[in-house]
Amino acid sequence: MEFKKIKLKNGLTILHEKRDVDVTTVMLGVRFGAVNESEEEKGIAHFIEHLCFKGTKKRTTFQIASEVEKVGGMLNAFTSEEVTAYHVKLPSPHLDLAMDVIFDIFFNPIFPEEEVVKEGNVICEEIRMYYDNPRLRTMNRLKECLYEKPFGMSIAGKEENIRKMTREFLLKKHDDIYCPENAILAVVGNND
């Protein structure tokens, strides 16, 4: 195995580990998660994560998924307390495709108005689902008791916050946060 870390002139940090495997994983993360949100913004990192998959300047929602899946790959994302990250896992010869898709959804999302409404509803349903799951509800209650707001609040946010977030507000926040100097690209696989 061979490990490299470099920082590009535009500020993007790149981590690369060459491994003799048939699969490559590419992850592009932004240093923004639930701990970076105010009480009024709670849930915005997670909301933006959902919307990045809903179309870009050059791809539809369907194209984003199908381009990766047709070569046997998987595309997903997560939001945690400290980071929001997007990841692709696919056969190593398709690294260029992984990079193209992941950079496109990360830097060029368009947040269509109808998708903002639709995903807002999806997230509100997720929030209600957490209340119906005893284990998740207990974990969220423990967090609420251990930490002051906004740190003790759920990563998904509150329904009233989600419903107030407009396309313009979400896009502005995305554009402010999703920049090379605030991002880390990690690539592990049989690639140079």
81 contacts 155 by C-beta, under 8 angstroms: yes
Is 52 within 8 Å of 109 (Cβ atoms)?
yes
> Residue 180: is the preceding peptide bond cis (ω within 30°)?
no
**37, 41, 49, 67: which one is catalytic?**
49
Q: Is residue 49 flagged as an active site residue?
A: yes
CB 33 within 8 A of CB 82: yes
Active site residues: 49
